Structure 1
Amino acid sequence: MGKTAVIFPGQGAQYVGMAKDFYDNFEDSKAVIDTADSVLDIDLKKICFEENEDINKTEYTQPAMVAAELAIYEHVKNAGLKADVFAGLSLGEYSALTACGAMKLPDAIRTVRQRGILMQNEVPLGQGAMAAVIATDAEVIAKVCEETPGNVQIANYNCPGQIVISGETEALDKACEALQAAGAKRVIKLNVSGPFHSKMLEPAGEKLYAYLRDVEIADDFLPYVCNADACYVTDASEVKTLLMRQVYSSVRWQQSIEAMIADGVDTFVEVGPGKTLSGFMRKINKEMKCINIATVDDLKKLEELNA
């Protein structure tokens, strides 16, 4: 029998009302969001549930997303879902760390709030940018980034045919032109507030590492797959360094999925807003069973898994 992985989406999948039906219907989900709300100096429930502009501001998005994902996961876990391994795309790695038992919920929520502030403030607005490159080989993209003057690199290996680049605005614009000249099907500038997962955020990663010194990582936890190396992590001593590196390193999502499949995972359950990771999965390996749980109505999919 194959293994099951629980995977969590990253920033960009958020929307007003995420996890509200879980909060309204299930005490276990409500307890997660109430706890997350209680450890911050912001109204997290208002950000998650009521129309507002803060939901798309990095420092607020990050704790709101992690709270919503873990609220949904708590009920899914209590409903009987058993996972062998966890992973999350970028921000979602913190949900994975909490779900696998490596980090406590209050610590995770406080840490991602700090992470969001550090990432938002490291590079002045307008000096960094990101772009999605469609239907172009990773080797071509990497070569263009390497040959472009300035600071630009691959930020996300999402799936075959979708790679994101990040860096200095001027360098990124030049790389986009070079990629189009090299035959890229589409190059789309992203509406983001910074050059995330680029070397420009290395100082933010180092500041996060200093913050993490006071955060407890459990000695014993279920394995998770990290973004920075796309490898299984079971050693608590590695976690903080990997989280530091994740801020300014490429997110190796496709490689992470492939590592889990190589380990015998054949069922993936995406927990959290949207269907982004399920869409990536169809391009990485459409033979895998993959469902997403974003709303209470999606819970019926769990029954299909067990059928």
Structure 2
Amino acid sequence: MSAPKTVFLFSGQGSQYYQMGRALFDVPGVFREQMLALDLIAQKRCGRSVIDAIYSAGKGEPFDRTLLTHPAIFMVEYAMAQHLIHAGVVPDMNLGASLGSFAAATVAGCMDVEEALITVIEQAKALEASCTGGGMIAVLANPALFEEPFLSAHSEIAGITFHSHFAVSAETAHLNAIERGLHDRGVAFQRLAVSFAFHSRWIDPAQERFNIHLKTLGLSRGQLPLVCCDQTTTISTLPEDYFWRVIRRPMQFRDTIAALEQQGTYRYIDVGPSGTMATFIKYAVARTSTSSTHATLSPFGNDQKNLAALTNSR
């Protein structure tokens, strides 16, 4: 039997929080070096230090300003991936969900890291300049629930994670009513820390402005395969509009993992800030799957313990 292939998982908007990656940032090493180098680039485009934004506030406060969270997620994920690679944990392929597709493509060699970070920031600027406020709600229920009018009339499905978990996006004015409807039906839910209704028509006004920047990119054929959650397939060459599609189209995480699992056994490693992708994988794969799942960072601590267990088992 062949060894499992290693898949790095990169999460998107909503996975961020203040103090993410702090245990790694506070000690000398690859993670800190990468964060500091990327922050110099981000400061010129954002007008302030993204590192200061991440580490100056306390846990529990909402971290949802897109101009800061977009680059913050990218920086943490890229730095985490480089930390693992330096430690000898090397991916065979990368899977990016939504905004995580930027770091996934960069680690795969499809674009230069500075160009990628600038593109992330330009996307955030396009959203803030063009779109009205919105949000996303994660719903712990069968996606069939979306057919009920209180959801379908005022939101769009942003993604299906597994058989009993999906997300919807809506304008700010409808979020409270949607949550009341879920509460009245006894359905568990969580509003994500985002400022816009990603993966829905409500971000379409930003496309024209962002496309101007996309036309300046020089995308390369990746050195690693990319698992694409909006196409449920593996690709190596990025279409010109790839970095718009990944935040606009619904995330088909459930079907993407199902397609992967049909091809073999994997070691899934979540390099995102919150470990949510690792949790989703556990519910998305069949009980008979021989694949393994590993988180790295977490809002609950244990970052160093998670990383030690991962690097010691390579």
Q: What is the TM-score normalised by the length of structure 2?
A: 0.83
Displacement of 1:76 after TM fit?
0.5
1:46 to 42, 52, 55: 52
1:261 matched residue in structure 2: 261
Instruction: Read off the aligned partner of 2:169 and give its amino acid letter.
Output: S
Displacement of 1:86 after TM fit?
0.4
Instruction: Read off the aligned partner of 1:165 and give its amino acid letter.
Output: V
Displacement of 1:213 after TM fit?
1.4
1:84 to 92, 95, 99: 92
Displacement of 1:304 after TM fit?
5.2
Displacement of 1:62 after TM fit?
1.1
2:300 matched residue in structure 1: none
2:207 matched residue in structure 1: 205
Q: What is the TM-score normalised by the length of structure 1?
A: 0.85
Alpha-carbon distance in 2 for matches of 1:123, 1:277: 27
SS at match of 1:14: coil
SS at match of 1:221: coil
1:133 matched residue in structure 2: 139
1:223 to 218, 222, 225: 225
Distance 1:130 1:70, change over 3 A: closer
Instruction: Read off the aligned partner of 2:197 and give its amino acid letter.
Output: P
1:275 aligns with 2:278: no
Alpha-carbon distance in 2 for matches of 1:200, 1:232: 28
Residue ranges of structure 2 left out of the alignment (5+ in a row): 298-302
Alpha-carbon distance in 2 for matches of 1:11, 1:71: 17
CA-based RMSD: 2.8
Alpha-carbon distance in 2 for matches of 1:302, 1:190: 28
Alpha-carbon distance in 1 for matches of 2:149, 2:232: 21
Displacement of 1:72 after TM fit?
1.6
Figure out how many residues of one structure are paired with residues of the other and give that number.
Answer: 298
1:251 matched residue in structure 2: 251
Alpha-carbon distance in 1 for matches of 2:64, 2:96: 19
CA contact (8 A) 1:206 1:244 kept: no
CA contact (8 A) 2:268 2:293 kept: yes
Instruction: Read off the aligned partner of 2:163 and give its amino acid letter.
Output: P
- Percentage of pairs with the same residue: 23
Higher mean alpha-carbon deviation, 64-73 vs 29-38, is at: 29-38
Q: Residues 95-139 of structure 1: CA distance to partner in whole angstroms, max 9, x if unpaired?
A: 1111111121111111111222223343323xx343332222x24
2:304 matched residue in structure 1: 296
Q: Residues 188-247 of structure 1: CA distance to partner in whole angstroms, max 9, x if unpaired?
A: 5555422111011123234322211112212342111123212111123x2x32221222
CA contact (8 A) 2:14 2:194 kept: no
